[in-house]
Structure 1
Amino acid sequence: MKFPKFEDIILYEDSDLLVVNKPPFLSSLDEREGGEINLLRLAKQYTPDAQICHRLDKETSGLLIIAKTPEAYRHISMQFEHRKVNKIYHAIVDGTHVFDDLLVDLPILNVGKGNVVISRGEGKRAETWFKSLKYFKHYTLIEAKPVTGRMHQIRIHLATQKASITGDKMYGGKPAFLSHIKRGYRLTDEEEQPIMKRFALHARQLTFTLLSGEEKTIAADYPKDFAVLLKLLEKNDA
């Protein structure tokens, strides 16, 4: 994978922290020793004391806050811990779903090896608000506001509503193919590739407090693959 230069993904910077629009397929942290390139490594090349304040799944694109100092890391981490950060994600999901400020309040248990399950007995509390933004014949653009920050929270909560994220095979999502939505689309002899080669989830907006006490809201544009899928749905699946 060829990733953009680190400087080109910075959306906000001051003396304490950076906010970046993470590209898809870039890990937040080291997954293995000496492994592939990741966001933390790129950030440390830019500012040596960089620490990532929260995480996004490798395939998820969008906003991440990176602290430049230990004080900034503590300041931002505490806001996440005390649920003071307002997080908005956008997802494209399979099927048409009318969510009008739906609260999904289902506990999540991390069973290890990157897997989570809903467990009312042993799971940790997890809450997400969902709202439908745009309807298509076979898909819906959804806004998700996670109150808590459990692993895979939005993905598994949507799956419980039979609204799996498009392309999210782990939770029942199916890849989107142009042949499914475009009338008269002719397949060639080659195997058709999905429109997006990942699940359609993007960290769209963050509201948090800077060290100065000022409240800051930052939004991140969709990456190319997400924008292309939306455009094709608007054209062919409206």
Structure 2
Amino acid sequence: MVVYKPAFYRCQLPDDHPEDSIVSWLCRQYEIDPELMNEELNPALSGGGGFGPMCHRLDKQTSGPVLIARKLESWKFIRRQFQKEQVTKRYVCLVDGICANDSGMIDSPIRVRRTEKREFHR
């Protein structure tokens, strides 16, 4: 299933307030296979802060669709597709100001500078 994640909601289960995440909300709203929340069966949970039934995650600041598995086998199948890079991701952004063109494409990585976690650079 696909769920829209609003910006500034966490995908991972935070240690301090585990109820404040998309994962917690999903488990309250939908019938989710308990195996997806088992660290031994779902490697995304190992080391704490995992994302349970979510097949991928979005950064806290990012809004958009997230793929959700309700069964462990579905989760494994979708995760394999991500690992084999068989999933195409497309991002759309809103720009404030005057642009030279009506549309365009950024064909370079966008990353967070490690020293300044909140500042984004191209």
TM-score class, shorter-chain normalisation, is 0.5 to 0.7
In the alignment, is residue 104 of structure 1 matched against residue 108 of structure 2? yes
In 2: Cα distance, 1:21 partner to 1:84 partner: 21
What amino acid does structure 2 have at the position aligned with 1:170? E
In the alignment, is residue 40 of structure 1 matched against residue 28 of structure 2? no
CA RMSD of aligned residues (A): 3.0
> Contact conserved, 2:5 with 2:65, CA < 8 A, in 1?
yes
Deviations 1:152-172 (A, max 9, x none): xxxxxxxxxxxxxxxxx6227
In 2: Cα distance, 1:105 partner to 1:58 partner: 18
Would the alpha carbon gap of residues 92 and 100 (structure 1) be closer, same or farther in structure 2, given more than 3 Å must change? Answer: closer
Deviations 1:59-103 (A, max 9, x none): 211100111111111111111111211222211235525474452
Would the alpha carbon gap of residues 62 and 78 (structure 1) be closer, same or farther in structure 2, given more than 3 Å must change? Answer: same
In 2: Cα distance, 1:53 partner to 1:21 partner: 13
> TM-score, structure 1 length as denominator?
0.35
What amino acid does structure 1 have at the position aligned with 2:20? I
Q: From 163, 166, 171, give the equivalent of 2:120.
A: 171
In 2: Cα distance, 1:66 partner to 1:109 partner: 26
Structure 2 unmatched ranges of 5 or more: 37-52
Deviations 1:13-36 (A, max 9, x none): xxxxx2111122221121224445
Quote how far apart the aligned CAs of 1:111 are. 4.7
Would the alpha carbon gap of residues 103 and 48 (structure 1) be closer, same or farther in structure 2, given more than 3 Å must change? Answer: closer
SS of equivalent to 2:20? coil
What amino acid does structure 1 have at the position aligned with 2:120? Y
Q: Which residue of 2 aligns with 1:29?
A: 12
Would the alpha carbon gap of residues 24 and 103 (structure 1) be closer, same or farther in structure 2, given more than 3 Å must change? Answer: closer
Would the alpha carbon gap of residues 100 and 34 (structure 1) be closer, same or farther in structure 2, given more than 3 Å must change? Answer: closer
Higher relative contact order (CA 8 A, sep 6+): 2
Would the alpha carbon gap of residues 72 and 110 (structure 1) be closer, same or farther in structure 2, given more than 3 Å must change? Answer: farther
In 2: Cα distance, 1:29 partner to 1:105 partner: 23
Larger Rg: 1
Would the alpha carbon gap of residues 71 and 100 (structure 1) be closer, same or farther in structure 2, given more than 3 Å must change? Answer: same
Structure 1 unmatched ranges of 5 or more: 1-17, 116-168, 173-238
Would the alpha carbon gap of residues 44 and 62 (structure 1) be closer, same or farther in structure 2, given more than 3 Å must change? Answer: same
How many aligned positions are there? 100
Q: Which residue of 2 aligns with 1:87?
A: 89
In the alignment, is residue 55 of structure 1 matched against residue 4 of structure 2? no
In 2: Cα distance, 1:63 partner to 1:21 partner: 4
SS of equivalent to 2:92? strand
